[in-house]
Structure 1
Amino acid sequence: MYLIRLLYKTFDSERKAITFYLINVAVLLLIFNLTVSEAVIAYPTLISLMILAVYLTIKAVSLHGFLNGLDSAKQSKGYEPAPETCKESHVFETIEEIHANYNNKIAAMNEKLAGRNSMFSSFIHNMKSSVAVIELACAHKSLGALEDIELENEKLKSNLEQALNILRLDDFSNDYVPERVDLHALVSTVINEKKRDFIYASVFPKLSGETAYIYTDKKWCAYILEQIIANAIKYSLPNKNVYMEILTGEKRTVLTIRDEGIGIEPGDIPRIFDLFFTGKNGRNHKAATGIGLFMVKHIAKQLGIEVSLASTVGSGTSVSLSFLSKL
């Protein structure tokens, strides 16, 4: 069956050459009969068919090697193509480029999937811990138990929101609505939503600056602010302040969020926006996941927000967000 398929593919690939050859032979035989008194057709026809058979045999052998090379190339590795023509060489080079491109895409997808699995594992672990605390609180009914339940419920909501935001990142363009946003009002809203966190940590928000309008997505921008302010509260010392200052320029508006916390080790700063990197402070803080600042950097890039960070151990950390102004 393979031989028949090979012959069929050979005839199919060489049909133009065969057609041209047969027409040429027919014309030569016609001229031969017109010029020679005795009609002798069998001998030249036989010679012509033999030449055609040799040509098709050579082409079939060449096609057989090319098809074997293609079959090996499907495996993407462990094959050594031996192209006989420049055209075949280009085909194999293109196949190698396609394989390399898809291998890179697959590696990137696997890395992304592994990171996502780790993130969701972290969320599930945190939510299981909250559920366990709620179960214990339910078994010991008291005013303090109700406060614990309320606190753990907030943690559950936060983890669920984080998980949903990660899922939304793949379709960011479908969930992005640029608009004119009052940055001062937006920061005030986020501060109000974090009011309980400020109170529990005995940290005080200080917002300064005039009304400033920026061009961004209100929901995603609020998410970025929530993550940065949450970190500022988390790593601040009691009875200290978190300063939020808005400076308006002609083209860019800069919001600086500065805490008076423990600061970040100089060696940790270059990796602070990496996924799952918690640094020395994160290892000492059980609630640290190494996800928040990664999300901030990723979303900020999508929104065209420039993010910079500076920190001094023992003095605090400052995060600046530079927005495109909208007058």
Structure 2
Amino acid sequence: MNFFEYIKDKRFFLGFYVMIMIFVSLTMLVSVHSIPIGNILYIHIGCGLLAILYIVLGYFYKRKFYVNLHDMIESGLEDIGSLTPHIQNHQQMLYVELLQKMISNNHAQLQKLYDEKRDQQEFIMAWIHEVKLPIAASRLLMENSEGKSIEYLVDKLEDEMDKIDHYVEQALFQSRTDSFAKDYFITDIPVKQVIHKSVKKYAKLFINKGIRFQMEIAGQVVHSDSKWLGFVVDQILMNSLKYTNEGGEISVRFEEDRKERRLVIKDNGIGITPEDLHRVFEKGFTGTTGRLYGKSTGMGLYLAKKLAAKLGHDLTIESEAGEYTRAIIHFPKIRQYFQFDEH
């Protein structure tokens, strides 16, 4: 800030000073007879010199703050918060606090965008490796098709296509979670209908692995969105099928008490180790079972948990290694759907 810009900022003070001096001069002329004009002139000169001295000293006093502030703007450094100028008064303190808050908020937003971009890249890389497996298996089937019946080849290719379809659907839902607020419709959903649709989608896996399915659900309904709730159930059911050995069992039942309704999906598969249980909902976490039973994106349960929360539900996992895994979707009875988490 140069001196002329400082004078411009002081225009209201100068205007007020001129008004005061005019008032004082008129008062002296009216109240005192035959007052020498020289006395009034001396008063004007003296007060004017004091006003000029006040403005000049004030300029040099505040100049350092404004010079440092200008240097911050022109520095081009990312971490300009470390260049905060020395505070001289309360007004400058408020300016600096506002600036620091804006810098902090900006850094937080940039970090959030960076984390989201990194997570998206990690998911894409893991997803590419995952989806390449059924594609490679399909090519091997075609290359080694000699001597195999058409029915056998079609059956195997259909299995691989189902895997690809599952991964593509997972990627699509991952890409749409940010626009969730514009893409849901809460209504009464028959639980049995959602389960039937999901079981039908994975019917071939049930048959091929000889897994028994039991359902204890009558006509119960929950307040949810059928598409997004269906995706949550799909992820849970797919995990159960993946980690349940041949001849195993998956059961679904509906529970209700005074506070909530619960959809419980249980399998007697390999279970989850105690050290992994508290991390199953972390993004990209595959755990011991994921490493032993093949590479996984580690996104299924993460997305299921995230979408359940957006719907106002909750998702919890109970398990004992080598015995069972129980996934529970909680539906609180007191709902205010317009307060959904949209982050």
For residues 54-69 of structure 1, the aligned pairs below 5 Å read 54-69=53-68
Deviates most, 186-195 or 52-61:
52-61
1:253, distance to aligned residue in structure 2 (A): 2.2
Distance 1:211 1:300 in 2: 22
Matching residue within 10, 15, 19 for 2:15: 19
Instruction: Report % sequence identity.
Output: 21
Residue of structure 1 aligned with 2:178, choices 170, 179, 186? 170
CA contact (8 A) 1:184 1:209 kept: yes
Displacement after TM superposition at 1:317 (Å): 0.7
State the Cα deviation string for residues 87-142 of structure 1 (Å, max 9, x = none).
21122122222222332232222222211211112122223344344444444445
1:155-198, Cα deviation, whole Å (9 max, x unpaired): 22222211111111101111111011100121112111110111
Distance 2:230 2:41 in 1: 91
Q: Secondary structure at the match of 1:82?
A: coil
Cα deviation for residue 50 of structure 1 reads: 2.8
Which residue identity does 1:306 align to in structure 2? Answer: D
How far is the alpha carbon of 1:19 from its aligned partner? 0.6
Distance in 2 separating the partners of 1:58 and 1:181: 75
1:273 aligns with 2:281: yes
Query: For 1:319, which of 327, 332, 336 is the aligned residue?
Result: 327
Q: Amino acid of the residue matched to residue 98 of structure 1?
A: M
Measured in 2, the distance between the counterparts of 1:229 and 1:68 equals: 64
Other-structure match for 1:258: 266
Q: Which consecutive unaligned segments of at least 5 residues does structure 1 have?
A: none
Counterpart residue type for residue 119 of structure 2? G
Once the two structures are TM-superposed, the CA of residue 53 in structure 1 deviates from its matched residue by 2.4
After superposition, residues 120-135 of structure 1 pair within 5 angstroms as: 120-135=124-139
Q: Determine the structure 2 residue equivalent to 1:220.
A: 228
2:73 is aligned with 1:108: no
Aligned mates of 1:170, 1:73 — CA distance in 2: 35
Task: Tell me how far apart the structure 2 counterparts of residues 152 and 58 of structure 1 sit (CA, whole Å).
Answer: 81
- Aligned residues of 2:251 and 2:265 also touching (Cα < 8 A): yes
Cα RMSD between the aligned structures?
2.5
**CA shift in 2, pair 1:22/1:169, >3 Å:** same
The aligned counterpart of 1:159 is 167
**Aligned 8 A contact 1:212 1:248 in 2:** no
Q: What SS does the aligned partner of 2:135 have?
A: helix
Q: Secondary structure at the match of 2:158?
A: helix
Per the alignment, residue 204 of structure 1 pairs with 212
Can you list the C-alpha shifts for 1:271-291, whole angstroms capped at 9, x where unaligned?
111111111111102142211
**SS class of match (2:294):** coil
* CA 137–14 in structure 1, closer or farther in 2 if over 3 Å, else same: same
2:2 matched to which residue of 1?
6
Question: Alignment length, in residue pairs?
Answer: 322
Q: How does 1:72-111 map onto structure 2 within 5 Å?
A: 75-111=79-115
Query: Partner of 1:150 in structure 2?
Result: 158
* 283-292 or 132-141, which deviates more: 132-141
Alignment check: 8 A CA contact 2:212 2:247 kept = yes
Quick one: distance in 2 between partners of 1:311 and 1:237? 16
Normalised by the length of structure 1, the TM-score is 0.88
Deviations 1:275-327 (A, max 9, x none): 1111111110214221111111111111122222211111111111122469x
Equivalent in the alignment of 1:117 = 121
2:102 and 2:166 map into 1 onto residues whose CA distance is: 42
Q: What is the CA distance between 1:252 and its match in structure 2? A: 2.6
- Distance in 2, matches of 1:186 and 1:131, equals 29
Q: Does the 8 Å CA contact 1:183/1:213 hold for their aligned counterparts?
A: yes
Structure 1 CA distance, aligned partners of 2:162 and 2:71? 57
Structure 1 position 256, deviation (Å): 1.0
Q: Secondary structure at the match of 1:253?
A: strand
